[in-house]
Structure 1
Amino acid sequence: MEQSPSQSWISFVNSLGPNNYKKTVRVVSGNYLSASLYDLSFATGDVFTVTDMFPTKVQAILYENEEAIQTVNIPLNYKGEFQIFPDEHPYLSVAELYYSVQIGALGGEGTRFENKKSIYLEDKTVIDKGEILELVGLEEKDSTFLKFSLLKEDTSPFVLLPLTCNVELQECHDDQFYTLDMILQWKMLFGRKRFVKITKGHSLPCLQHFRGVAHLSPTYSFKVVCSGGTETIVASDLDIEVIEVSGKDWILNFTMTLNMIYRIPVNEFPIEVTVSKVSSEINTTSGFRNLEVGQCLTILKKKEIKKCIVTESAKQHFLVPSTYQGTIVKTPRSFPFAFDLFCSRTKEQGIRVLVRKAYKAEVPLLSSLEVGDELQVLTSRTVVLEQNARPQELEVVECVNVNTNQTINIPLYAEGQFLEILGESQVCTLAELLSQPHSVPCNIMVVKADPSVESDPLPGLKELRLEMEISDPCLIALRRDPSPVILALPIDRVKVSIEVTVHWYNKKESVQTYVFCHSNNVETLHGDQYAALQEKYFFSKPAPLPRCIQVKKQDSKPLPSILGLAWSRAGLRSPRATAELDSHC
């Protein structure tokens, strides 16, 4: 069996990165008893797999004039906003990025880097010095690659860089505002220090007037799966020695989850397994009702399958393969308030909308709207109003009134019942729509069902929102009984325990005999499954909340505050938004 030297658990977890923490270890010495917390004990010889890691505490070390002056604890649900400082040390290899930067949890922009020296790839691609690369994902072929979007003026081609590639990439400046939750989930660095600037909305006394720099230092706990499929949570300070195990020997006759099987190296596939336990909830998971205890499966390979998250009027949620062959047509979106426009705009392409409800501006710096006005949404900005002899800031959406060709400012609370203006309507497949630049998110209607989908639920639904395309990690499995069929099992949603019985070494036969024609199954998502995808991918790039402000005219009532309603209608996560509104107002 291949194995690494033994080390303390603390040393082991400190070596884990954001993309390589799902590892299996065997306890070689020590004993951990914590009955008051988790009723858990590890003994020599125990094997368990780390399946998740999450922060349990965050400390901020405050600096002024490059000197640490204070260390404070920040609650995990803290809603104050920060700006991040780019790491001043460049990354000298792609492997450094892999072990330091969070990949795959991004639903909006990835981290951007400036290339400090030319990169020459084997396929003759040259990435010139000074070009900007956006880290967008991870791909596993024969080895691991990081996927970048090469940002150019006219196009953004994708390039794959192997971990062995020597580079000099400098993190770019980021002018966005982030809550602590956002930073921890997709902007934290591992093995490097993440410095932030305290900006606005801070309620902690030690941060309200602090204008220096803070170093964020989180403490993590780990979810592990033990022999027999038992899941538990352990802290990072276990007093045990462990050894990382890999290869095929340890997995034989060992009860595992699909998530654990997915972490087996690609060269170990295919393998044969027996289903030993099936979760009761799998009976309501679309397309996977036929898995039964005692069933034998051959896991042929692991694969990330492109799928789209589709929502019907915020009531039903679906996961649709990007290969879906139904006929669709793009339909216009509705934006009740200017704040909806603010949340839905993109940097690459402004939204063009029609005003369907008039709005009367309260002060000269703002602009009125008439029914029938056409607007091209540009950006958002902050304007300063004089109210009661005091300057007050107000966030607005900046647009061009196409009718008058004038640039105007619309406050975020303005209700205009805006309707998106689309180009010429055309019917297409989902893949054809996704190939168009800046096509997601959008509204669609399925006008013709996919003939390969049994009881296709999408035709007939009037308002479908195409949220985003994701890469869904799946195990491609062959089930021979009662008749041969290929299954694509999503590891995060199919809850079964399996035992590995034997490795199937006739790999040539397995690849040639069975064609991986994945079913275009439309999967219905439960609320918790949809929430988990929201948490992982952030469907819309979270925008900083506007400040609630009272803008008054003489002898008039304060303007209504409808930002919470606008936030929820924009498709962002309403519980967090509601809490943030409460803290801002």
Structure 2
Amino acid sequence: MALSLEQFVQSLDLRTLPRVLEIQSGIYFEGSIYEMSGNECCFSTGEVIKITGLKIKKIIAEICENIESCESPQPFELPMDFPGLFKIVADKTPYLTMEEITRTTQIGPSRLGHPCFYHQKDVELENLTIKQGEQITLNSVEDVNGELVVNCVIVRNQQNHSFTLPVTQEGEFYECEDEHIYTLKEIVEWKIPKNRTRTVKLTDFVNKWDSTNPFPKDFYGALILKPIYEIQGVMKFQKDIVRILPSLDVEVKDITDSCDANWFLQLLSTKDLFEMTGTEFPIVAEVIEAPQGNQVPRNILQPGKIIVIHQKYQASRILASEIRSSFPKRHFLIPSSYKGKFKRRPREFPTAYDLELARSEKESLHVVATKAFHSPHEELSSVSVGDQYLVHHSDTTEVLCEGRKTVVNVLACEKILKKSYEAARLPLYMEGGFVEVIHDKKQYQISELSKQFRLPFNVKVSVRDLSIEEDILAATPALQLEEDITDSYLLISEVTNPAECWEIPMGRLNMTFQLVGNFSGDTGSYIVRALIEEITEEQYYMMRRYESSVLHPPPLPPKHPPVKETKLTLLTLAEESTAEPPTSPKSHCVATAKNPPSTGAGLDPRAPIGCQSDVMSEKSKCGALQLEAPV
């Protein structure tokens, strides 16, 4: 049965892609127009196209003054790279079957692909009853003995209960409220159900927006996002990627079941390669589409180049950022094979709690205070600008708080005097300022730094990597090594030189390949070249948000009015000291640490235990800066 192209797209189940369409009829102006590699071309009746994907080409936004009844006479296009942060407003239109949810909602392996719904009534299963309003998380869709089912989970009493629901399950399923904050790109890729609009609330901006702001001044309200789709496909016996708007006025017929597989060249995206099993490699492929400005040398990834894709695997990288006062900062992914050498640079610590996070059992942390702190309790130490400390361990002590004794978490230190030491106790909730004093002159490889020191860690390249033509790290004034991450890579080589291989990231290079065949050459030993990769601000933001295994809470302000402060010049304090501090005799060591009592779920360890309710009330509202792990 013939359908208009728009009707076909509306009824398309993305799980059934690819689909093969035959052009039936339409209104032509010397043919129907579509775009291919930036050129205008035309269809003819009887032409065949293989639909490989459906992407959102652009977003039309409407300002929504009242979420209950949104009306805006002036919709406008929102750039896809718009750096805003949004909260999603739950859709109040029900889904009547699980099949409708799976057909229109992205369900995938990442945490972004795990949507949550609730049901209006209890749902009786064989071994479980889903209660009315209980949050159901959808993790994946799979085929079990010819029947499609959805793998789900609910959480009760902090315990996960897994179960499956058939896609034929009927009912009234509603979206759960979502408290997370998303970028526009995340919403476009994961959070806009097909054939529906999405209402969102603007909360903040990731970074400075240089282009014309499309919103009224100080606007932080609701928007309706309407996607404009683009069909991606390939023509019969052609290898160029075709991009068509669904509004093209043609009728089509789905002939997937009767087409010949040999009509189309086998095109693979990086996503397709990621889903292949390891036994399907190595393969020979031709590059069809490649990103501009890739860092692999000798133009290996240029269109038309024949390459060998040896395998896919996980590789480790150190995420690093340039240390500078001005923005934007540059961000890098450094492989463990980097042969340059680093020297340590002083770190800055805004609070005593940051000292606790940075201290190490291998060496004493030596710091200089850059802010004054007046202790409200005799049992705790006051700090003057220029005081020097050796940081030892966390501890607890009792203080009088509002007329009663309260246990406070503290940092046990030694204050360095001219010829001796003095025991000091700094409260973890203290908002201060400290700069590290470096006595270590050793030069380190990147692999040594990640093993010996706790990240984040400040360094400067002292010896550039002579094995690469241009060492982009050597030009940076200083770097902060932020965290060790694991990412997915493809190992590729030229077909004429399979012994020299290059790692290319799967998630940051959107490429298309044509499968040529299996590789029959020698797959024995080869040399792997891993490049330093400079990433964008958006890519950095996403990594800090999703790759961090541990997100430490941001520092809290002090629980008493701050005293008048005087700051030293950080440049003066940060100079590497050539004089070692006095040797700390055992007689001057601070008392042995006690085991800090548990503060309970949701309470902050930096605050006095007796005043936790005050701390909870002082926590700031959820905002953009809380999405990134603190540096």
Normalised-by-shorter TM-score class:
0.5 to 0.7
Matched, 1:181 2:177: no
Matched, 1:408 2:423: no
Task: With the length of structure 1 as denominator, give the TM-score of the two structures.
Answer: 0.52
- Structure 1 range deviating more: 74-83 or 17-26: 17-26
Matches within 5 A, 1:349-388: 354=359, 356=365, 358=367, 360=369, 362=371, 371-373=391-393
Say which of 3, 24, 31 aligns to 1:7: 3
Residue 217 of structure 1 and its aligned partner are, at CA, apart by: 1.1
Q: Is the 8 Å Cα contact of residues 118 and 129 (structure 1) preserved in structure 2?
A: yes
- 1:342-372 deviation digits (Å, cap 9, x = unpaired): 9xxxxxxxx9774656585858699999734
Specify the alignment match of 1:441 in structure 2: none
Residue 214 of structure 1 and its aligned partner are, at CA, apart by: 1.4
Specify the alignment match of 2:118 in structure 1: 114
Say which of 92, 95, 101 aligns to 2:96: 92
Specify the alignment match of 1:226 in structure 2: 235
Specify the alignment match of 1:55 in structure 2: 56
| Aligned residue identity for 1:206 | F
Residue 44 of structure 1 and its aligned partner are, at CA, apart by: 1.9
| Aligned residue identity for 1:222 | I
Say which of 238, 247, 250 aligns to 2:248: 238
Specify the alignment match of 2:134 in structure 1: 131
| Aligned residue identity for 2:140 | G
| Aligned residue identity for 2:252 | V
Q: Is the 8 Å Cα contact of residues 51 and 259 (structure 1) preserved in structure 2?
A: no
Matched residues in 1 for 2:374 and 2:15: separation? 48
Specify the alignment match of 1:147 in structure 2: 151
Matched residues in 2 for 1:129 and 1:87: separation? 18
Matches within 5 A, 1:274-289: 278-279=286-287, 285-287=308-310
The SS at the match of 1:192 is coil
Gaps of 5+ in 1: 264-274, 289-304, 319-335, 343-350, 376-398, 418-462, 473-489, 500-518, 561-576
Residue 215 of structure 1 and its aligned partner are, at CA, apart by: 0.6
- 1:457-511 deviation digits (Å, cap 9, x = unpaired): xxxxxx99453799x9xxxxxxxxxxxxxxxxx9x98933479xxxxxxxxxxxx
Residue 85 of structure 1 and its aligned partner are, at CA, apart by: 0.6
Matches within 5 A, 1:74-93: 74-93=78-97
Q: Is the 8 Å Cα contact of residues 29 and 241 (structure 1) preserved in structure 2?
A: yes
| Aligned residue identity for 2:41 | L
Specify the alignment match of 2:223 in structure 1: 214
Q: Against the structure 1 CA distance between its residues 553 and 134, is the aligned structure 2 distance closer, same or farther, given a 3 Å change threshold?
A: farther
Matched, 1:495 2:513: yes
The SS at the match of 1:247 is helix
Say which of 140, 163, 170 aligns to 1:166: 170
Matched residues in 2 for 1:192 and 1:121: separation? 30
- 1:43-92 deviation digits (Å, cap 9, x = unpaired): 22222222233333222112224241342322221112221111123333
Say which of 1, 4, 25 aligns to 1:29: 25
Gaps of 5+ in 2: 274-282, 288-299, 320-332, 338-346, 376-381, 384-388, 396-407, 413-424, 438-481, 491-505, 518-522, 555-561, 572-623
Residue 192 of structure 1 and its aligned partner are, at CA, apart by: 2.5
Matches within 5 A, 1:255-266: 255-258=265-268
Matched residues in 2 for 1:365 and 1:16: separation? 67
| Aligned residue identity for 2:7 | S
Q: Is the 8 Å Cα contact of residues 107 and 113 (structure 2) preserved in structure 1?
A: no
Matches within 5 A, 1:437-448: none
Residue 165 of structure 1 and its aligned partner are, at CA, apart by: 1.8
Q: Is the 8 Å Cα contact of residues 17 and 190 (structure 1) preserved in structure 2?
A: no
Q: Is the 8 Å Cα contact of residues 120 and 126 (structure 1) preserved in structure 2?
A: yes
| Aligned residue identity for 2:250 | I
Q: Is the 8 Å Cα contact of residues 235 and 264 (structure 2) preserved in structure 1?
A: no
The SS at the match of 1:135 is strand
Matches within 5 A, 1:310-459: 310-311=316-317, 314-316=333-335, 354=359, 356=365, 358=367, 360=369, 362=371, 371-373=391-393, 408=429
Task: With the length of structure 2 as denominator, give the TM-score of the two structures.
Answer: 0.49
Q: Is the 8 Å Cα contact of residues 34 and 41 (structure 2) preserved in structure 1?
A: yes
Q: Is the 8 Å Cα contact of residues 232 and 243 (structure 2) preserved in structure 1?
A: yes
Q: Against the structure 1 CA distance between its residues 315 and 363, is the aligned structure 2 distance closer, same or farther, given a 3 Å change threshold?
A: same
Q: Is the 8 Å Cα contact of residues 317 and 524 (structure 1) preserved in structure 2?
A: no
| Aligned residue identity for 2:79 | P
Matched residues in 1 for 2:310 and 2:60: separation? 45
- 1:295-348 deviation digits (Å, cap 9, x = unpaired): xxxxxxxxxx9x756436734499xxxxxxxxxxxxxxxxx7889xx9xxxxxx
Matches within 5 A, 1:443-522: 465=484, 467=486, 495-497=513-515
Matched residues in 1 for 2:488 and 2:171: separation? 29
Q: Is the 8 Å Cα contact of residues 150 and 156 (structure 1) preserved in structure 2?
A: yes
Q: Against the structure 1 CA distance between its residues 277 and 315, is the aligned structure 2 distance closer, same or farther, given a 3 Å change threshold?
A: closer
Residue 374 of structure 1 and its aligned partner are, at CA, apart by: 5.2
| Aligned residue identity for 1:127 | I
Q: Is the 8 Å Cα contact of residues 223 and 234 (structure 1) preserved in structure 2?
A: yes
The SS at the match of 1:78 is coil
Matched residues in 2 for 1:235 and 1:540: separation? 35
RMSD (Å), alpha carbons: 5.8
Structure whose alpha-carbon radius of gyration is higher:
2
Matched residues in 1 for 2:257 and 2:534: separation? 34
Q: Against the structure 1 CA distance between its residues 173 and 75, is the aligned structure 2 distance closer, same or farther, given a 3 Å change threshold?
A: same
The SS at the match of 1:55 is strand
The SS at the match of 1:102 is coil
Q: Against the structure 1 CA distance between its residues 401 and 217, is the aligned structure 2 distance closer, same or farther, given a 3 Å change threshold?
A: farther
Q: Against the structure 1 CA distance between its residues 465 and 276, is the aligned structure 2 distance closer, same or farther, given a 3 Å change threshold?
A: closer
Say which of 201, 204, 225 aligns to 1:200: 204
**Identity of counterpart residues, as a percentage?**
20
Q: Against the structure 1 CA distance between its residues 182 and 210, is the aligned structure 2 distance closer, same or farther, given a 3 Å change threshold?
A: same
Matched residues in 2 for 1:414 and 1:559: separation? 9
Q: Against the structure 1 CA distance between its residues 181 and 89, is the aligned structure 2 distance closer, same or farther, given a 3 Å change threshold?
A: same
